[in-house]
Amino acid sequence: MLTSTNPRTGVSAATALEPTTAEGVDAAARRAAAAAAELQHRGREFRATLLEAMAASVENSRGRLVAIADAETGLGAVRLNGEVSRSAFQFQLFAEAVREGGYLEAMIDSAAETPLGPAPDVRRMLVSIGAVAVFGSSNFPFAFSVLGGDTASAVAAGSSVVIKAHGSHLLTSQLSLEVLQEAAHAVNAPDGTFSAVFGQEAGLALVVHPAIKAASFTGSLVAAESLQRAINTRPDPIPFFGELSSINPVIVTEGAARARGTAIASGLFASFTGSAGQLCTKPGIAFIPDSASGQALVESLKELTGEARPQVLLNDRIRSSFDSISGRLVEAGAVEIASGSGLPPHDQDAPDENPFQGFTVAPALLETAAASLTEELAEECFGPLIVIARYSTLDEVREAFGRIPRSLTATLHAEDDDEAIIAQLMPALEASAGRIVFNSYPTGVRVTWAQHHGGPWPSTNSQHTSVGVTAVRRFLRPLAWQNAPQSALPEELRDHYSAIPRRIDGALVLPQPVVQQVGG
Amino acid sequence: MLTSTNPRTGVSAATALEPTTAEGVDAAARRAAAAAAELQHRGREFRATLLEAMAASVENSRGRLVAIADAETGLGAVRLNGEVSRSAFQFQLFAEAVREGGYLEAMIDSAAETPLGPAPDVRRMLVSIGAVAVFGSSNFPFAFSVLGGDTASAVAAGSSVVIKAHGSHLLTSQLSLEVLQEAAHAVNAPDGTFSAVFGQEAGLALVVHPAIKAASFTGSLVAAESLQRAINTRPDPIPFFGELSSINPVIVTEGAARARGTAIASGLFASFTGSAGQLCTKPGIAFIPDSASGQALVESLKELTGEARPQVLLNDRIRSSFDSISGRLVEAGAVEIASGSGLPPHDQDAPDENPFQGFTVAPALLETAAASLTEELAEECFGPLIVIARYSTLDEVREAFGRIPRSLTATLHAEDDDEAIIAQLMPALEASAGRIVFNSYPTGVRVTWAQHHGGPWPSTNSQHTSVGVTAVRRFLRPLAWQNAPQSALPEELRDHYSAIPRRIDGALVLPQPVVQQVGG
């Protein structure tokens, strides 16, 4: 029997859920494989309709979803309502992308005489890779879990999904699965389009199941390594898309610190403490000039941090990691210059008023010198903590970028007349991250076409994104047809189909408007 | 000291080449990393010019290249001249693709009020992944080696290339490298754009070098596994694109056997014996109806095979594999029904006339029943050998497809009125291969936009192609810029750039013609 824990109190309660057995995993994977074949066959319009039904179903259950997730994550109704909106929006956005059809990368090369001799007709597009295993993350109970972007992009690709529910929001996962199954039922999707498995053993069994053709994951490096090791034992390798670890450096130029140091301090504070700092894109290091303006910025941050309320983390593992990693950072030479622990002392006679009950920690501000920044000082600490790295020269910053791990994001606060500085820093920023943010903050990932939520190792292990429309590419494979009769081709590759962008004989052709027949 | 062997005679000769030392690998990889940064910086037009120079340089050295490769591979001047043409054509095609720019997947999402609140400007395109290790294959000394598609697509991506020369054409590889370096010199490309390493140890050192960011490989499963194991020991995973093993099944319907059985026999014979059967796309199994028409087709094949001349294989390893695998196929139950060994007996007194000197084998035709086809009978046998699988019902074929490994290609010979049969077979064909060929033969891979030379495991280990323009995607990673000033963006993402296809606010926009300013 599995339990659900309230992180605000640390109290666990029994649930009706059981760890999925090996037989249960096998059945889910087999049904998913059959569903994937059927989903591919039903075509794009069906999948767009399914995605719209998923969006509607999420909205229909908003209140219940938020309530159950709040009890399991402590993230609060405002943040969780936002996340439900994001989940619904994602399903809708992928529905639009499926209808638009550009993601198919449809190409037609007509038979031709070429410099290499006569050449056959070759047509290509992307098709579903098959059934996908999705591992929900702890920190986004909706947008990176059962109802998340991996599920959305897999369905868009034509894949079925078997979700490994995250242990720290099991009831939310179960309700989310029911929400998906309602949508599937509403549009008569194949059985096995959505299912879920519970428990770590089930997750490991899932990624080695022959019917599973890809896996996606958002979480820790350690958990990802365990899954990758399991996948490496398969006779047939499958792609494993992991979004893993990110320190997300921020650089503030002297000009920016002088012009808007207080605003940057507020923005940074909101960014590193939002959702209790439990975001993949949380800024973990900020390079601040070792100058009067820089000092003023740091003083503002100290003040904000010192006055901050304690924050509830998602589970006991994250809480204890926060304690041990913040300890290691201090051992490695960082100095704690502010902490949101300046609270009334704990009253032994009134334990309910203990502000540190449950999985609660105090936001923390640490400081070091950029010139002495090491890989140890750049260890990701999930939770409300940031390390300020004071610098005297840009070279110190660039050299430090060479020593710290690479990230999902890198952020630069600079003024209009900092052009030369920007030019100097760009190569380091481009090499170190998947998204470069100017004059704002890395948290808050826009769900859109051009988004890239990925980056060099260890931020991800692939050349793909897990947020935004191009996330669909992870679950697709190319298929080519040579000299095929029209009837054997998918409709998107037939001669007279023109509703999607296609590359014909090397030239990209936009969809043609449908001309209405007049008369009849 | 390394040796070069003439496969026609089996005689080895010393070369001036040495196995590359660990220091030599390190130096090449470091120089390649520096070159990759510079190539990315120089932009698309430079890379297109470099690719054109590579095409020209190959043409300039055609005679020397063909002569040296013929001595090392025994493939003959006609085939090798065709391959040189293909190499040059590939460089030219990628130059065009780089100029066209669609492969960048440029996207711009303007800042906007969205259903999820105010959203920043986000722009994305693909950039080079960095320095690439390319492993040349034995069977294409040009088109899948130093001068091959991996080199072409890596340069198109903006990557530098360190090539592991294939041991069975070392002198060809060395000359090919000089041809590339001449081109690099002609356009003043950075040092380290092209280099090569020699020897297996050097290859293993290359894929674990921190400066190498991706590796591509065409060759055997066993060699790929050894490289993958080495890559798995890296702290940072890198993508490894392997094109590996393929049985390439062919199905001939009763209608097709009846209508054009003799022509199909000729075509199949040419396809399984061309280049001595040493092609990744060689048909290894042909499903032929167990009928009078099918029998006539098989009789034609027997006749052609029985009259065939012995063929020279590339090296002793391939020759001995051919012998042992053909032996295993017979042990597994296939019957040899024809062999091109009906030659005058070997004259002990005139060893020069021995038709089986060097690495020579006889083409072979084996037969079995589709209903009893096992995975063992579908073992890939590199060289001029095909297994005929006789079938009585389409279900036998479909079930056999479920038992044999999946492939780069699957081929169907069917008549116009076979529509119902085609529809029945399509799901099995689509699931089993990366390219479905109708009424022709899988060998002869058109180098074009829509080509897909890849497929489900074990034919490849990735969702990518190694032939055709989209091969460039292997060496690219997405990068996004948020709220970036125009000057910090690559020109392709700036507001007023319009020379390439871009997706703007979700809508694909074609390049705009340049309007000439009148007057002045």
Q: What is the pLDDT of residues A129-186, one digit of tens each?
A: 999 999 999 999 999 999 999 999 999 999 999 999 999 999 999 999 999 999 999 9
Look up residue A220 and give its two tokens. 């820790």
Could you tell me if residue A498 is inside a domain?
A: no
**Boundary-marking domain end, from A438, A454, A484:** A438
- Rounded to an integer, what distance in angstroms lies between the CA atom of residue A286 and that of residue A386? 7
Cβ-proximal residues to B188 (8 Å cutoff; 6+ apart), any chain: none
If asked whether residues A421 and A470 sit together in one domain, one would say: no
Distance from CA of A346 to the nearest CA of B (A): 40
Cβ of A124 within 8 Å of Cβ of B419? The answer is no
If asked whether residues A167 and A260 sit together in one domain, one would say: no
Could you tell me if residue B140 is inside a domain?
A: yes
pLDDT in tens, A29-75: 999 999 999 998 899 999 999 999 999 999 999 999 999 999 999 99
Tell me which chain A residues have a C-beta less than 8 angstroms from the C-beta of B33.
none
The structure's pTM equals 0.96
If asked whether residues B42 and B151 sit together in one domain, one would say: yes
**pLDDT score, position A143:** 96
If asked whether residues A196 and A112 sit together in one domain, one would say: yes
**pLDDT score, position B354:** 61
Mutation to test the B interface, candidates A122, A127, A129, most B Cβ within 10 Å: A122
Could you tell me if residue A49 is inside a domain?
A: yes
If asked whether residues B286 and B187 sit together in one domain, one would say: no
| ipTM reported for the complex surpasses 0.85 | yes
If asked whether residues B126 and B152 sit together in one domain, one would say: yes
If asked whether residues B265 and B382 sit together in one domain, one would say: yes
pLDDT in tens, A377-397: 999 999 999 999 999 999 999
Considering only the beta carbons, identify the residue of A434, A480, A485 that sits closest to B435: A480
Considering only the beta carbons, identify the residue of B236, B456, B484 that sits closest to A438: B484
**pLDDT score, position B104:** 98
Tell me which DSSP letter residue B190 carries: P
- Between the alpha carbon of residue B349 and those of residues B8, B189, B353, the distances in Å are 19, 57, 9
Based on the structure, what is the number of domains in chain A?
2
Instruction: Work out whether the CA dihedral B467, B470, B471, B472 comes out positive or negative.
Output: positive
A381 in catalytic set: no
Closest-CA residue of A relative to B454 is A478
Distance from CA of A323 to the nearest CA of B (A): 26
Closest-CA residue of A relative to B469 is A506
Look up residue A192 and give its two tokens. 């096995």
**pLDDT score, position A520:** 42
Q: Specify the CATH number for the domain of residue A85.
A: 3.40.605.10
Mutation to test the B interface, candidates A462, A479, A492, most B Cβ within 10 Å: A479
Greatest Cα pair distance in chain A: 91
Distance from CA of B132 to the nearest CA of A (A): 14
**pLDDT score, position A1:** 85
If asked whether residues A254 and A342 sit together in one domain, one would say: yes
Could you tell me if residue A154 is inside a domain?
A: yes
If asked whether residues A130 and A228 sit together in one domain, one would say: yes
Mutation to test the B interface, candidates A452, A464, A498, most B Cβ within 10 Å: A452
Could you tell me if residue A503 is inside a domain?
A: no
| Mean pLDDT score across all residues of chain A | 95
If asked whether residues B197 and B282 sit together in one domain, one would say: no
- Rounded to an integer, what distance in angstroms lies between the CA atom of residue B108 and that of residue B152? 28
Residue whose tokens read 């430090």: A400
- Rounded to an integer, what distance in angstroms lies between the CA atom of residue B438 and that of residue B431? 16
- A311-312 and A476-482: which strand pairing? unpaired
CB pairs under 8 A between A and B: 223
**pLDDT score, position A385:** 98
For chain B, which ranges sit under pLDDT 50?
344-348, 351, 520
Cβ of B463 within 8 Å of Cβ of A456? The answer is no
Considering only the beta carbons, identify the residue of A109, A114, A450 that sits closest to B107: A450
Could you tell me if residue B146 is inside a domain?
A: yes
Identify the active-site residue in B280, B381, B396, B492: B280
Alpha helices in B2-125 (DSSP H): 22-42, 44-60, 62-73, 77-100
Considering only the beta carbons, identify the residue of B448, B452, B457 that sits closest to A236: B457
pLDDT at A500 over 50: yes
Residue B422 domain boundaries: 250-438
Tell me which chain B residues have a C-beta less than 8 angstroms from the C-beta of A129.
463
Half-sphere exposure of A244 (CA within 13 A, CB side): 26
Cβ of B470 within 8 Å of Cβ of A105? The answer is yes
If asked whether residues A261 and A220 sit together in one domain, one would say: no
Which helix (H) or strand (E) segment holds residue B122: the answer is strand B122-128
Considering only the beta carbons, identify the residue of A436, A477, A510 that sits closest to B481: A436
- Rounded to an integer, what distance in angstroms lies between the CA atom of residue B470 and that of residue B66? 28
Give residue B470's Cα distance to chain centre: 13
Identify the active-site residue in A52, A72, A83, A280: A280
If asked whether residues B237 and B257 sit together in one domain, one would say: no
Q: Specify the CATH number for the domain of residue A404.
A: 3.40.309.10
- Rounded to an integer, what distance in angstroms lies between the CA atom of residue A29 and that of residue A160? 9
B381 in catalytic set: no
Tell me which chain A residues have a C-beta less than 8 angstroms from the C-beta of B488.
422-423, 426, 436, 438
Cβ of B436 within 8 Å of Cβ of A477? The answer is no
**pLDDT score, position A354:** 61
**pLDDT score, position B19:** 98
Cβ-proximal residues to A114 (8 Å cutoff; 6+ apart), any chain: B89, B446, B448
- Rounded to an integer, what distance in angstroms lies between the CA atom of residue B405 and that of residue B397? 14
Task: Name the CA radius of gyration of chain A, rounded.
Answer: 25
Do residues B445 and B458 lie in contact, with contact meaning Cβ atoms separated by under 8 Å?
no
Identify the active-site residue in A52, A72, A83, A243: A243
Q: Strands (DSSP E) along B155-314, which ranges?
A: 161-164, 194-197, 212-218, 240-243, 249-252, 285-289, 311-312
Tell me which DSSP letter residue B210 carries: T
Could you tell me if residue B53 is inside a domain?
A: yes
Of residues A517 and B292, more confidence is placed in B292
- A122-128 and A476-482: which strand pairing? antiparallel
Could you tell me if residue A447 is inside a domain?
A: no
Do residues B472 and B153 lie in contact, with contact meaning Cβ atoms separated by under 8 Å?
yes
Q: Strands (DSSP E) along B373-485, which ranges?
A: 385-391, 407-413, 433-438, 476-482
Q: Using alpha carbons, select from A94, A185, A198 the residue that is nearest to residue A146.
A: A198
